[in-house]
Amino acid sequence: MNRLAALWWPLPPVVLVSSAALVAASLVLSTRWLWDQRFQEWVVTSFEAHEQVLWAAVLAAVVSCWAATRLTPTRMLFGGAHHPRTGWPVVRRHLAVLNGWFLLGYVVGIAPALVLTATRAQYGGPDVLAILGGPLGIAAASALGYLFGVVVPVALLSPVPGLGVYLLYSQSAVADGWTALLPLVRVWISLGRSENPAVTGYRVIFLLALLAACAVTSAVLLRATRRTAPRALVAVLGCLALPGLLAVVPFVRTPAPLVHDAERPRVCAERGGTEYCVHEGHASELDVLGAVGETALARLGDSVPAPRRVWDLALAGRGEDPGVVWVQLDPVLPLEPAVASTMAASIAGDDACRQRYGDPGPEEDWPEAVALADDLRWRVAALFHEEYARVDGPFSELSDAELVRWLAEHQHTVASCELGQEDLP
């Protein structure tokens, strides 16, 4: 066997190349949206590197199951006592070749997102433990599929472990404990909040244990004969014990998947008496944020109190000053409408309503003052940005000049969330 053939032997090269290409394609399509962002965040890219491996893992399980049914001598499963099947060397070779090609597809598929983030991110670096959850999730799925093929050596049933992996990896939507075990977490992540290192580290340990347990179990079953079946059963139970025990722990004490960053370095600038601050990772947005905010507040004039601090939501933590207006800087959505909506909510008394009523529940159950403050918010947003100009409500008939005068006359009522029908223009 020459060196080139060693890259795929004993599997057909067309199967491995096509599998790697499909894995790469699934990663490229799943992370394509990252390419269109105005700015890059390592915390998001590291998260997506494991969050988008579902279809790659399903494919790996199916192909590995098929390989096990074709390459292991199934006719010896119930052979004589002195006719053992192959063992660890064969399993090691099969899984090494399969996962080597799956890993190649993963690297090719995730590389564009990683390279783009490395060249454009303004803060931080890759979360290695989080990223490792991606290829290990694919490798563990491959080992599960291979084990199924050893136990049920029927090629037509190869899609079954793929379906099983799909259902298993989707369990994070059912119970929080799965977030510490599987690569799919299904949470919202952004700059200022990182994946819990304890969770990502535990996930890596569990996936490694699951991979090793499935590989060794496959080898034990392939080596077993009728005479050694009892010992093989004990060995199988021993192999599966470790991942089984590791799987129980997160459900006994459910971990927090995300943690607030201890350090939130900020960059600030002052415009028109208002301080604008962004996380260092969003430094490229500071000038735009300040310009949009200054333009919006200029339309209010001097008769209406304006926010004195407009900060990036990535800087928010616990116990922050309620007087700060928090703006979410989305890397895909336009910044101007978001700033208009957020600043309008502050001017319309949204903070005061939250302090007074908390979460008022469904919209139809809102107190009158909360409903009117919400209507006022969208009319003020229309003053700031044309996108909201078509929003109807009790304030929609006011011209911009009339709205500013009305706000000046009702400052106290608006600021204390006490609007009523008698206050309407």
pLDDT tens-digit readout, 240-252: 888 999 999 999 9
Burial 215-242 (b: 16+ CB within 10 A, else e): bbbbbbbbbbbeeeeeebeebbeebbeb
Asked whether residue 343 carries a pLDDT value surpassing 50, the answer given is yes
> How far apart are alpha carbons 76 and 222 in whole angstroms?
9
Across the chain, mean pLDDT equals: 85
Q: Looking at the structure, do residues 296 and 369 belong to the same domain, yes or no?
A: yes
Asked whether residue 161 carries a pLDDT value surpassing 60, the answer given is yes
Nearest CA to 41 out of 276, 310, 317, 329 is that of 329
pLDDT at residue 385, as a whole number: 81
For residue 312, give the H/E element and its range: strand 309-312
Domain limit, last residue, from 242, 260, 278: 260
pLDDT at residue 78, as a whole number: 40
Nearest CA to 18 out of 62, 72, 69, 49 is that of 62
pLDDT at residue 43, as a whole number: 94
Q: Looking at the structure, do residues 121 and 250 belong to the same domain, yes or no?
A: yes
pLDDT at residue 149, as a whole number: 92
pLDDT at residue 76, as a whole number: 43
Nearest CA to 49 out of 107, 96, 119 is that of 107
Domain limit, last residue, from 260, 280, 300: 260
Greater confidence (153 vs 318) lies with: 153
Between strands 325-327 and 309-312, the pairing is parallel
Asked whether residue 92 carries a pLDDT value surpassing 50, the answer given is yes
Q: Looking at the structure, do residues 146 and 27 belong to the same domain, yes or no?
A: yes
Dihedral sign from CA coordinates of 46, 47, 50, 51 = negative
pTM, two decimals, is: 0.86
Q: Looking at the structure, do residues 179 and 287 belong to the same domain, yes or no?
A: no
Q: Looking at the structure, do residues 195 and 311 belong to the same domain, yes or no?
A: no
Neighbour count for residue 145 (Cβ, 10 Å)? 31
Q: Which tokens belong to 96? A: 């090494």
Domain limit, last residue, from 208, 225, 260: 260
Nearest CA to 130 out of 35, 51, 55 is that of 51
pLDDT at residue 245, as a whole number: 92
pLDDT at residue 24, as a whole number: 97
pLDDT at residue 201, as a whole number: 95
Judge whether 407 and 414 are in contact, CB under 8 Å: yes
> How far apart are alpha carbons 179 and 422 in whole angstroms?
51
Q: Looking at the structure, do residues 95 and 236 belong to the same domain, yes or no?
A: yes
Average pLDDT over residues 1-18: 79
Q: Looking at the structure, do residues 216 and 280 belong to the same domain, yes or no?
A: no
Q: Which domain holds residue 135?
A: 5-260
Q: Looking at the structure, do residues 285 and 247 belong to the same domain, yes or no?
A: no
Q: Looking at the structure, do residues 191 and 319 belong to the same domain, yes or no?
A: no
Asked whether residue 131 carries a pLDDT value surpassing 80, the answer given is yes
pLDDT at residue 349, as a whole number: 82
Q: Looking at the structure, do residues 186 and 284 belong to the same domain, yes or no?
A: no
Number of domains in the chain: 2
> How far apart are alpha carbons 380 and 338 in whole angstroms?
13
165 strand-pairing partners:
none
Nearest CA to 91 out of 211, 222, 213 is that of 222
Q: Looking at the structure, do residues 254 and 277 belong to the same domain, yes or no?
A: no
Residues, the chain: 425
- Within 8 A by CB and 6+ apart from 173, the residues are 186
- Within 8 A by CB and 6+ apart from 331, the residues are 37, 38, 39, 40, 41, 44
Neighbour count for residue 400 (Cβ, 10 Å)? 12
Q: Looking at the structure, do residues 359 and 255 belong to the same domain, yes or no?
A: no
Asked whether residue 84 carries a pLDDT value surpassing 50, the answer given is no
> How far apart are alpha carbons 257 and 63 in whole angstroms?
31
